[in-house]
A and B are shown apart, each in its own frame.
Chain A
Amino acid sequence: MKNKIMEADAAVAKIADGASIMVGGFMACGTPEILIDALVRRNVKNLTIICNDAGVPGRGVGKLISNGQVKTLIASHVGLNPEVAERMNTTNEEEKLECILVPQGTLAERVRAGGAGLGGFLTPTGVGTIVAEGKQVINMNGRDYLLEEPIRADVAFIRGSVTDTFGNTIYNATTRTFNPMMATAADYVIVGTCEIVEVGQLDPNHVVTSGIFVDAIVGGEVQWQI
């Protein structure tokens, strides 16, 4: 079996300037900080980050934003990270952040569709709002829906609670969020996990993400300290 276990810096070494990266988690709960920190050290720029939100300063994708590595952020909510508004409005082109806001359910489903081989899906969310601008409206059985497209990325940062050496992963509590869908929707999938166990030690009934999706496993992720 291919050895997928590596150090964080090695796992992010192939990420280039301009890459698109999906980052799991919700307000940084369920975001692999160990991978974010390695990406900050690698200091690649002009990234497109796809994440539920902007984290907070000093936590989650907030660290990448503070370090000026993010060119485009695709998220549903950025209100708890004041640095986003500053960088959206700055006149300094180097630091400028473009923010594309997507309804949370639509973002989750776009990622799922990206990993599930779907060409798009119809959602009632956003009909009659600015979210509908430029999108096809399709009437099905008397109700209007927006045609939303799938989304994929070059890389996904997944945060596991327990992962076996094949990559099978379990998520604790609300760390799950976008992680399972993102693990299916990127070309190169890295799991930053709290605990690595041998194959056979996880109950297959509890495995959420199959190891077939996982390219690299990085141990040493720790629970957030309050």
Chain B
Amino acid sequence: MADLKERIARRVALELHDGDVVNLGIGLPTMVANFLPEGVDIVLQSENGIMGMGCEATSPDVDIINAGAQYVTINPGAQYFDSSTSFGIIRGGHVDATVLGALEVDREGNLANWIIPGKMVPGMGGAMDLVVGAKKVIIAMLHTQKGSHKILEKCTLPLTAVKVVDMIITEMAVMEVTPEGLLLKEVHPDYSVQDVKDATGCKIMVSEDLKEMIQ
């Protein structure tokens, strides 16, 4: 499982460009920063008020946390700001990419990742603002929830936002959200196109230029 998550994080990292301002969600998305290609430096934004965040701190300064309440470091050239400024940066289109997990995502790019009514009500935190404001929204997750579909014709859970997802990267495949629906671009060598279709709860189109998932 850890290997699968690392595989996903490694593939997501290839989507980021030198100089990008990036906000990484909690969990798997946070791992992406560990796998940036040589020569790609990104500026990490943390919505609680950091531009230029570093990594998890080994000898913590208790006044510096990330949005997951972990103690972190900052890089030279970093800046702190208040929450209103932070979300101005986010909604204002100044974040190049955000990487988040999902409970459900559908073929129109609708996203549900903040609530399971009656079960899990953690709140949306900054997710609704992030997916609406970031220039590119990448969903990084395991393809299914223990076999049950997470990529659907239409989300069933309350939405985080409408038509915001640009790309879905899983342990099986890389898919792009297009106006016509999901386009399969890459498949991991462990799986066939049919495996991906079976694990997906909606119709997918297969790219004429289908590739092996880049590692």
Contacts and interface: CB of A to CB of B under 8 A. Distances in A.
B63 A223 contact: yes
B123 A178 contact: no
A125 B159 contact: no
Interface residues of B, number: 41
Nearest to B129: A105
A172 B65 CA distance: 12
Contact of A177 (B61, B82, B91, B122): B82
Interface in B136-191: 158-162
Contacts of B71: 226
A77 B48 contact: no
Contacts of B132: 124-125, 127
A225 B161 CA distance: 38
A129 B129 contact: no
Contacts, number: 145
Contacts of B101: none
Nearest to B46: A174
A176 B79 CA distance: 12
Contacts of B84: 108-109, 111-112, 180-181
Nearest to B89: A105
A212 interface: no
B2 interface: no
A108 B65 contact: no
B126 A105 contact: yes
A179 B82 CA distance: 8
Contacts of A76: 123-126
A220 interface: no
Contacts of A52: 83
Interface in A52-100: 52-53, 75-80, 85, 88, 99
B91 A124 contact: yes
B1 interface: no
Given A129-B159, A130-B158, A178-B83, 18 more contacts: A27-B65, A29-B63, A53-B123, A77-B122, A78-B121, A103-B127, A108-B87, A109-B84, A124-B91, A125-B91, A125-B129, A127-B161, A129-B160, A171-B80, A173-B64, A174-B49, A181-B82, A226-B62
14 contacts: A26-B49, A29-B62, A78-B122, A79-B123, A105-B87, A105-B91, A124-B133, A125-B132, A129-B162, A131-B128, A173-B63, A174-B64, A177-B83, A180-B82
Interface of B: 46-50, 60-65, 67, 69, 71, 74, 80-84, 86-87, 90-91, 120-129, 132-133, 158-162
Closest 9 CB pairs of A and B: A79-B122, A105-B87, A105-B129, A128-B162, A27-B69, A77-B125, A108-B83, A77-B123, A173-B63
